Amino acid sequence: MAGGRARLITELIEMLRRCGDAEIVRWRMSARRKMEGGWMEIEHIETAYYRLPLETMGDAGHGAIDSEELITLKLHAGGLTGHGYAYTIGRGGRAIKALVDYDLVPLLLGRDATDIRGLWDLMWQRLLYVGRGGLASFAAAAVDVALWDLYGLREEKPLYALFGAESREIPAYGSGVDLPKSLDELLAQTEGFLERGFPGVKVKVGREDPKEDEARIKAVRKLIGDDTDLMVDANMAWSAKEALERGRRLEQYNLYWYEEPTIPEDVSGYARLVRELDVPIAAGESLHSPHEFRRYVEEGAVGVVQIDPITNGGITASLEALRLADKAGLATSSHYTDELSAHLLCASENPVYLEKHAFALDAYLEEPQRVVNGHVRPAETPGTGMRFDERALKPYRG
């Protein structure tokens, strides 16, 4: 209690020094919550780092991928523990853990865990000089996921209910990281997706020779027939000009969407692709803040908004991306983060698909997500419903 009072005084001094209106409002709200007893003081945060081996995969933008880094986070407040995490595709994970341990933990200790939006703003502001996205967004995400989980535990509600949403069944698609696979391997993977009942499948494109991409897409379309949706993902491989040419060649295979055709910085290039191609353009996994999503939506640069609550900067940031998409009447989907995204997409007006990604965390989760007839629903347990199986993770701790 004495620690909480000292923290309030420190905050008051900080607030007076900054003298910004938003800071004053935030402090007043925190003070009121503390007086009313709703305050949950953040007492302790612990993190761990793991390197999980993967069968070697690859795509046109990120090259070969043979491991996934997992940074787990436990946030203790008010007698409860919220669980969060961040992941990478094998690079940068130690820096994310260091940002949490050295910059965010000292910032957050003693603060009110129920002020999720306020803490997101605070983390963003504190890391602004080295952040505005990138690794800082992943670090903030690990904390933000734990805060939402804690909120669900306190309210005894699953995440989707905290958003004011109802549980819904969301179609899932099988997604390979399959650019290096031979055509036979690609078709075998696709058959596996069909056996699992997925109503859609996604294939990587970006082989040097456009004819090879075309042959692979043509063969997959022939295998799946016309009733299964087919998406392609270029992982930012091309210039906007080349993406336009490639897109025109691939459109004939009746694609459901064309994902990340060029680099995320080229927003006007994306807008041109949206205008000039018939196939919807999907993007979002490489956008690291609500500001970036706002620019895409306002400039007509995206047709399907894909959220990833880790790369986007947390659940708070992905919810904002979904609200922007809803306001613009856009379709929504997800990248990886199957378990969190099943909750988030329930809060969206037009969630067309959830991605069932090749990097499944199932082997490391106490309760892996169930896919029934190619569809998923969010977990019903309070919070995120995600708990890592520490015995399964233990051999990979770094």
Is residue 233 at the binding interface for Mg ion, with CB under 5 A as the rule?
A: yes
Of 60 and 141, nearer to Mg ion (C-beta) is: 60
Distance CA 168, CA 147 (A): 23
CB 287 within 8 A of CB 310: no
Residue nearest Mg ion, Cβ-based: 233
CB 74 within 8 A of CB 40: no
Angle at 347 between CA 342 and CA 200, to 5 degrees: 45
Question: To the nearest whole angstrom, how small is the minimum distance from the Cβ of residue 285 to Mg ion?
Answer: 5
Instruction: Tell me which residue has tokens 């986070």.
Output: 73
202 is catalytic: no
Of 113 and 205, nearer to Mg ion (C-beta) is: 205
Of 152 and 206, nearer to Mg ion (C-beta) is: 206
Annotated catalytic residue, options 76, 204, 343, 357 = 204
Question: To the nearest whole angstrom, how small is the minimum distance from the Cβ of residue 235 to Mg ion?
Answer: 6
Annotated catalytic residue, options 76, 83, 181, 335 = 335
Tokens of 382: 């309070």
Instruction: Tell me which residue has tokens 């210039």.
Output: 239
222 is catalytic: no
Closest by CA to 221, choosing from 178, 254, 248, is 254
Question: To the nearest whole angstrom, how small is the minimum distance from the Cβ of residue 65 to Mg ion?
Answer: 12
What would the x/- binding string for Mg ion be over residues 186 to 215, using CB under 5 A? ------------------------------
Is residue 144 at the binding interface for Mg ion, with CB under 5 A as the rule?
A: no
| Interacting span for Mg ion (CB under 5 A) from 23-31, 102-110, 157-165, 227-235 | 227-235
Of 122 and 186, nearer to Mg ion (C-beta) is: 186
State the number of binding residues for Mg ion (CB under 5 A).
1
CB 367 within 8 A of CB 387: yes
CB 220 within 8 A of CB 187: yes
**Residues shown for the chain:** 398
Is residue 338 at the binding interface for Mg ion, with CB under 5 A as the rule?
A: no
Phi, psi of 370 (to 5 degrees): -95, 140
Of 30 and 337, nearer to Mg ion (C-beta) is: 337
Return the biggest CA–CA distance within the chain: 69
Q: Which residues are catalytic?
A: 204, 335
Interacting residues with Mg ion (CB under 5 A): 233
